[in-house]
Amino acid sequence: MPRASASSPFRDGFAALRHEPALLAAELTWRWCFGVSMLALAIFATGTFLDSIPVSKLDELLLGTFQPHLLAAALRHIFRGTLSRFLLEQALLILGVTLLWSFASAVGRAATLRRLVAMFSSDEESQPSDWHFGSIFLLQLLRAMWTQVAFAIVVFLLIYGSTMAERERPFVAALALSLGVGFASFVGFSLNWYLGMAPLFTIRNGVCAKEALEQAIEFSSRQGTRLFLLSLGFLAMRLMWAAMMVLLFLAPFNLLGTVGGRWIALMMGFLALLYFAGADALSLARWGAYVSLAEDDSHPVPEPEPEMPSQAPARIDIMPLEGLA
């Protein structure tokens, strides 16, 4: 794709979508396939867990009364002794979803980044030929695992801080809720950012996961201001798109009584898919902006050297011989 000499990464990101519509189709394919697979896996795991729980005739009778205290007693009796099995199934479900996400995102990100890098690279450079699937899979797996660890630490600190506040230990509670949660969130966000940016350099420079992570850190330090502005711009567009779609999503409720419930559910489902498609398009445009910025970073435009003013030869006044007498 031809680029102007003074390119704007924000504009280049949307120009990539217009120039290559198949990129959006590829992005939607891998994201929605993962979403459907995750939903099916969660439904299967939940159904398997519920089928393994014995329900007696008395429990069925209590559940049929729809009385709150009888329902609570029946549920306590049904789920008694199932905590360990539930935790084991949830751990296996999280492990399966993590591996599925890492695989799907590695395939999808490699496909889209290869095309974006080829679009924005200079004509003199060789086009990326290797997918580097192993390195990208490792980066995405580390990113998913680190996100889960950071989330678990933040939740633990929130629970611990709340417990300390109830025990009237304000200093420990404030330390956990402010400094602890803030530091854990900052570290988690930073490493998640670097791991998410690293696949770009794996594809672009053909390096392993470790070198790509190092290059992502160096690139983020050099272009920190422009990356922040780009991310802020796309975040603002994402929020505006979400606000508009929420209003449209709730609009079918005005048709209650005149349109059947199935048609309203169908319209709401279509609007939800439209929101996800727009959000994925913005995400892909953001990646195009990052690729364009990486190209500008590797080929900076040299600044014109200031012209030196021409200096006239210095004038030397020679005193007359009479002045020396």
CA 118 to the chain's CA centroid: 23
Q: Which domain holds residue 147?
A: 130-222
Q: For each of the chain's 325 residues, which pLDDT tens digit applies?
A: 545 445 689 999 999 999 888 999 999 999 999 999 999 988 888 888 878 777 777 877 877 777 777 778 777 777 777 778 888 888 888 999 999 999 999 999 999 999 999 888 765 555 555 788 999 999 999 999 999 999 999 999 999 988 888 888 888 888 888 888 889 889 989 999 999 999 999 999 889 999 999 999 999 999 999 999 999 999 999 999 999 999 988 888 887 778 777 888 888 889 999 999 999 999 999 999 999 999 888 866 555 555 555 554 544 444 444 443 3
pLDDT of residue 70: 76
Provide the phi-psi class of 305: left if phi over 0, else alpha when psi is between -120 and 50, else beta: beta
Q: Can you tell me the distance from the alpha carbon of 182 to that of 150, in angstroms, rounded to the nearest whole number?
A: 11
Q: Can you tell me the distance from the alpha carbon of 149 to that of 155, in angstroms, rounded to the nearest whole number?
A: 10
Contact 128, 117 (CB under 8 A): yes
Does residue 270 fall inside a structural domain? Answer: no
pLDDT of residue 231: 93
Q: Can you tell me the distance from the alpha carbon of 310 to that of 8, in angstroms, rounded to the nearest whole number?
A: 37
Q: Can you tell me the distance from the alpha carbon of 155 to that of 21, in angstroms, rounded to the nearest whole number?
A: 41
Give the torsion through C-alpha atoms of 257, 263, 264, 270, to 10 deg: -160
Does residue 86 fall inside a structural domain? Answer: no
Does residue 102 fall inside a structural domain? Answer: no
Does residue 275 fall inside a structural domain? Answer: no
Q: Can you tell me the distance from the alpha carbon of 98 to that of 147, in angstroms, rounded to the nearest whole number?
A: 11
| Total domains in the fold of the chain | 1
Does residue 152 fall inside a structural domain? Answer: yes
Does residue 174 fall inside a structural domain? Answer: yes
pLDDT of residue 1: 58
Does residue 23 fall inside a structural domain? Answer: no
Does residue 161 fall inside a structural domain? Answer: yes
